[in-house]
Structures are given as C-alpha cells and as structure tokens.
Amino acid sequence: MTRLRAAAGRGLAKVTGQALGPYQSAVVRIGFSATWLFFLLREFPHRRELYGPDGPWSWDLAHRLTDSNEAFSVLMWSDSTLWFELVYAVSVLASVLLMLGWRTRTSAVVFMVGVLSLQNRSVFMGDGGDNVIHLMAIYLVLTRCGRVWSLDARRAALRAGSGAGRDVAGPVLWGVLGVVLAYGAVSGRFTAGWLAAFAAVWVVLGLWWTVERHEPEGEGRAVLDVLANLLHNAGMLVIMAEVCLIYATAGWYKIQGSRWQDGTALYYPLRLDYFTPWPALSGVLAGSGVLVMLLSYGTVAVQVAFPFTLFNRRIKNVLLAAMMLEHAGIAVLLGLPFFSMAMIAADAVFLPTGFLVWLGAGASGRVGWGRGLGLGLGRDRGRRGGAGVADAEVAPVAVPVQAGPGGG
C-alpha cells in the first residue's frame, strides 16, 4: 500500500510538475501548421471557389448551416470579398507563425480560428486529412507546444542570458485580440460557448501577465504553472487517443468490407484516373496481384494492431515507421499529399524522444543552434519577468523564463 501511494505521488508530481513530451508536441505543431500552410498556398489561385464568394456552396447556405449546427466561422461575419481575403491572409500568416513558434499560444488560437473558419465555411470541400487538421487545431491550443524548436524558446534563451527587455509585441497583440473579441461579443457574432472559450483564454493570458509582472516567484505563478502543465498533458493524451481511435476505427471498418477481406481493395483506387498522378507506376503496382493482396492485408493488420502495441516500445516503433511509409506511399501513388502530411504529423506524437533530439541536432547542423532553440532537457533554474501578455510559449525546458498560460 505504501509503495502504491508513493508511485501515485511520483506520478502526480510528474504530471503537474512538467509538460511531458515537449519534442513530440513541437513536431505535431510544426507538422500540422506546415500542412495547412502548404495547402492554403497551393489552393491560393482557387481560394474563392473553395471557401469564398465564388464557391458553389454559397454564403447564404453556409450561414444557414452554421446557424443550425452552431459551427464556428468568422467568414459568417460578413459576405464581402475583402473580409474573405483578410481571413485567408491571416490564416496563412498564423500558419507561418505557429510553424516558427512565434507567440505560440496566441498563434495557435489564431491558427485554430483560421482552420475552423475556412473548413466550416465549405464543409463539403474537405477530406479525411482536413478532419484531422480540424481536430488537432483545437487540441494544439491546449498544449505548450513551443517549448522547443521555436522562436519563443530562442527568445527565452536570449533573455535568460542578457536580461529581460521591454516587451511590446505581447501586450499589443493581446490588445488587438481583445478588440476583436469585444466586437464579436457586442455584435452577437459568437455563440455562447465560443464566446466563453475565447473570453477565458483572453482573460487568463492577462492574469498570467499580471502574476508574472507583480509576483513572478510567488504561489500564484506556481499554481498557474501546475494548471498549465495539467492542461498540456491532458491535451497530449487526447491527441494520442485520437490517433489510436482513427487507426482502430479505420482498421475495423476495413475488416468488414468484402474487398479488404479478399485482399483486392487497393486495386480499385490504383485504376481510377482521379487517384493516379503516376499512371505507369500505379499500373505496375496494380498488375501484381500478390503485392496488392499483401499491401491490403498489411494495411488492415497495422491499423488494427497499432493501439495494442503502445506498451511495447520496439513493436510500436516498427509499426509507426510502417504507417508513416504507408502514408508516404499514399501521397505518391494516390496523389493525396496533404492527407498524408496530416497523418504523418499525427503519427509523430508517438516518435521516441531520443530520435527527435537526434533528428533536431542533425537538421540544425551544429549543436549551438539546437541550444538556441531550446533543444536541451533539464530542470528549471528559476524564473524571471519580462514576457508579454500574449507571449504564450516562451520557455524552453532548460531555460527558465515566464510564459503565458499553458506555455513556458
């Protein structure tokens, strides 16, 4: 009984004392923001047909649908072309800033607004990859995903070495978002649930700044840090559970299909013109019955088995690599690059920390750059003031500095 209590105490201390999986959350942040950014850039010439005033799904139809299901979209605030272009441009900018890790908490909120606004504007334009981005955009707001591999972490390291300077961008950003929130509240643009959610984020950011400004070493900061860690760890758990649910349901639904049972399911998309960007390559693959059967059965087996292998690190890593290669193959053979990028980014939440550290060091080309972006893991050595209200993700794991709620 004593050992059980001690183990429970250690587990509680770990969950409340640190944001677990900083590298995994950073990879998920970079992966999904890059996927959405590349999608928006590729579809830029067709943006008005997809989500704007020239689309087959008119603004009036979208407005009626969002009124009935209470889906959130700032594009429903106005049907003007100028407003659409502004929202699209802000979505692109938020994707860039989140990928780079600048004011990560605030960038994550604006990124989520952009994703939900565009996708809920034209609900019939998406696919499975869009659904994953839709969900992960919400979950990322809960995480402290800028602790490593981000401009916030780099800025925190510089401040730790040279002293805190006056932060202007954070309070200005907080004020601008406050004006937008006030306008939406007064004009009745928000539903009650979304208004409460956005108001809570805005207020907590201000509270965090106040505590950091007047009591950076006090109990108030410690309480906020514990709550932020709990929120982050819960968000990471939800992301992992979501990935497992996606694969489990996909695998079990495939088992029920006759084409998957007889091993011919992959043959048919490989013969469709819509899914054959490389007809010769698809034809060679579809021409081998044995290979089609092995890939069909292998896909089902990997998807069904993956959630059950999480407690065996070696088997999990093997299946994880197999699933990533599978999605890379889907991107090339079936011409679905953004779906594959989204799924690979989701899979990355299960990558081993050691591999991610090695990958980051290799990508940097030199150890100094890695330290500058907060690559090292270690214990906090203290805290100091100076971060802004909207500075949500500024502290790398080994560099102590204040942060906004859920950050640091």
Q: Which residue has the tokens 């890379």?
A: 328
User: Cα(271)–Cα(69) distance, rounded to whole angstroms?
Assistant: 38
Residues 6+ apart with CB under 8 A from 389: 170, 171, 173, 174, 205, 206, 208, 209, 404
Residue whose C-alpha is closest to residue 120's, from 166, 74, 80, 184 = 74
Identity of the residue numbered 158: L
Identity of the residue numbered 173: L
Runs of H (alpha helix) within 256-312 = 258-261, 279-286, 289-305
User: Cα(408)–Cα(405) distance, rounded to whole angstroms?
Assistant: 8
Predicted confidence at residue 365, as pLDDT, reads 65
CA dihedral 216, 218, 224, 229 (to 10 degrees): 90
CB 232 within 8 A of CB 19: yes
Each residue's pLDDT tens digit, 21-37: 999 999 999 999 999 99
Predicted confidence at residue 401, as pLDDT, reads 30
Identity of the residue numbered 100: L
Q: HSE-up of 386 (CA within 13 Å, CB side)? A: 19
Residue whose C-alpha is closest to residue 379's, from 18, 3, 137, 12 = 18
CB 186 within 8 A of CB 180: no
DSSP 395: -
Structure tokens at 136: 């992960």
For the chain, residues with pLDDT lower than 70 are 8, 161-166, 216, 365-408
Runs of H (alpha helix) within 334-384 = 337-347, 353-364, 367-372
Terminal-residue alpha carbon distance, the chain: 36
State the CB neighbour count (10 A cutoff) for residue 272: 10
Predicted confidence at residue 274, as pLDDT, reads 84
Structure tokens at 89: 């441009």
User: Cα(131)–Cα(244) distance, rounded to whole angstroms?
Assistant: 15
Beta strands in 227-293 (DSSP E): none
Distance between alpha carbon 16 and the CA centroid of its chain, in Å? 22
State the CB neighbour count (10 A cutoff) for residue 232: 25
User: Cα(408)–Cα(387) distance, rounded to whole angstroms?
Assistant: 10
Length of the chain: 408
Each residue's pLDDT tens digit, 292-327: 999 999 999 999 999 999 889 999 999 999 999 999
Residue whose C-alpha is closest to residue 169's, from 374, 373, 387 = 387
State the CB neighbour count (10 A cutoff) for residue 387: 30
Predicted confidence at residue 361, as pLDDT, reads 85
Predicted confidence at residue 178, as pLDDT, reads 93
Predicted confidence at residue 51, as pLDDT, reads 93
Residues 6+ apart with CB under 8 A from 284: none
SS3 of 203, please? helix
Predicted confidence at residue 126, as pLDDT, reads 80
